[in-house]
Amino acid sequence: MTRFDLTNRTAIVTGAGRGIGRALAVGIADAGAKVAVVARTATDLEEVVQEIEQKGGTAFPIAADLTASGTADEVVAKTIETLGGLHILVNNAGMNIRKKAHEVSEEEWDRVVDLNLKATFQLSQAAGRVMCEQKYGRIINIASVGGIVALRTGVAYGSSKAGVIQMTRILALEWSKFGVNVNAIAPWYFRTPLTEGVLSDETFLQEVLQRTPSGRIGDVEELVGPAIFLASDAAAYISGQTLAVDGGMSVYGF
């Protein structure tokens, strides 16, 4: 087994029905792991499972609302029961409501923070109990450069992702001594079903490109390598870090 091989590992990937989560689920399965794919929509999960199985991998769908009470424990229990263990957790499920700060309602704030931050913590907590007990685990939280730098029309989103980054540090501080590494990936704009609307606005797209030193939008496949690295033994001495995968956007200056 090479240091980047995930054979004999079992993973949970949330938000796995589309976009970034789907790419990560398929990529982690390609690296050898058995994968529990989690999302709200069962039909999306069926397609992901089919794609993984057609390539010779093993996957199990779990249709779930991660913001519902008790869901995190159920997802972890189902994964262990069905796939035989839990070694990797990728917290990818998230959402954004693009509004100016003075327009965001309490209900909208709660929806974003409950999924992006609270559900991420609850699933990390449920998985962390198992991982700390077995003295091995890898947790990867999909944050955002919006949690590092200030972005317009995203006060709830940016606040939740900044919380994810700080939570990543604290969980690493507590759990690394048990062999459980906790890290985050902070993407910039990638082409997904959730971003195609805003990126179809040519003015907005050009503004994004002007602030991206690499001069282009990312492809979701470019997130797979970083995720496999952080999930693998190659990253055994890395914990509490946030890796910006952003074409240089977070270091943009004038």
What is the per-residue pLDDT across 59-97, written as a single tens digit (0 to 9) for each? 999 999 999 999 999 999 999 999 999 999 999 999 999
Q: In whole angstroms, give the CA distance from residue 7 to residue 139.
A: 17
Average pLDDT of the residues of the chain: 96
In the chain, domain spans: 10-244
Which stretches of 84-215 are DSSP H helices?
106-113, 119-134, 155-175, 196-199, 202-210
| CB-CB contact of 55 with 31 (8 Å) | no
> Which positions are catalytic?
157
Fold classified for 10-244: Rossmann fold (3.40.50)
Pairing of strands 137-142, 88-91: parallel
| pLDDT in the model for residue 216 | 96
**Token pair in block for residue 36:** 């529990």
Residue 30 pLDDT? 98
Instruction: Output the pTM of the full model.
Output: 0.96
Residue 1 has pLDDT above 60, yes or no: no
The torsion region of residue 89 among left (phi > 0), alpha (psi -120 to 50) and beta comes to beta
Helices 119-134 & 155-175, crossing angle to 10 degrees?
Answer: 10
Q: Which amino acid is at 71?
A: T
